[in-house]
Amino acid sequence: MDIQSFAPLVRLYEVLREKVLLTGITGQESLELMQSRLEALIVDLEVLCFKGELPIEDFVSLITNVYSTADKLGIPLDRFPAHITELKDRIDDLRKEIDQIEAKKQDALKDCNMTLESLQGYNANKPFLVWMQKLKQQLADAEEKIRKGEEDLEKERFWNKLEEQHTWKVSVDEVNKASVELGLSPLHNFDGNPSLSVSDLKKWVMDVYYYPSRYVEIIRQMRDVYNSQYKLTTTASRN
C-alpha cells in the first residue's frame, strides 16, 4: 500500500476516534476493530436494503429525510416511530368520529322524513313555495275581510231591524182602542174573539203608502183627521 491509499484509512480512523468509537484502543488492534466494524456495517446495510428491495443510496436518502422531518417537528429520532403510530391512531379516531357524525346526520334526515334528494327538491321548488305562501296569506287576508264584512252586515241588519221595530212600534192601548171601535176584541182577550192584528194594520198602511190612488177617499178622511188633530195639538201647546 502506498501513502495515497493509506490516507483515507487515516481520515476514517480519526473520525471514529473523534466519535469515541475507539476509546482505549490503539495501534494495529484499533485498525482491525475499525475494519471489522465497517465490514459489519456494510454487510448489515446490504442485507437490510436487499430485504427491502431498496438501493443503498435510496436508503441513505430515506434516513436523511426521516431525520430532517423529526428535526423539524422537534421530535427525537428514537421517538419518531412512536409519533407516527400516535398519528395513525389519531387518524383512526377522526375517521370514527366522521362516521358517527355521518350516521347521526342520516338519522336526523330519516327522523324528519327527509332525504338529501328531498332537500334538493325543496331548494329547487323554493320560489314556487314562496309564491304559494304569498297566495295563502292573500287568501287568509281575503277571508278575514269577508268575515269582518259579514260581521258589519250582521250588525247593520240588527240595527235596521231594531230601527224598524221602533219605527213601527204601536201602543197597545191604541190598538185595543181601535180594535174595540171596530167592533173587535182587545188584543189581550181570553175568549178567542178576533182583534185588530198589528201585522194586518201595518200591511194595510203600507198598501196605502204604495198605492195611494186606491184609497183616495180614505186618504182624504185621514188628511182631515190629521189636520184637525194637528190644530188641536198646536192650540193646546200655545195655551
Please say if the pLDDT value at position 213 is more than 80. yes
Please say if the pLDDT value at position 90 is more than 70. yes
Residue 98 confidence class, pLDDT cut points 50, 70, 90: very high
Q: What is the Cα Rg of the chain in Å?
A: 61
Residue 112 confidence class, pLDDT cut points 50, 70, 90: low
Residues 6+ apart with CB under 8 A from 208: 214, 215, 218, 219
- pTM beyond 0.75: the answer is no
Q: What percent of the chain has pLDDT over 70?
A: 78
pLDDT at site 11: 78
pLDDT at site 83: 83
C-alpha span between 34 and 17 (Å, rounded): 10
pLDDT at site 16: 67
C-alpha span between 119 and 109 (Å, rounded): 9
Please say if the pLDDT value at position 135 is more than 70. yes
Helix runs in 19-79, H state only: 27-51, 56-73
Give the pLDDT mean for 160-168: 70
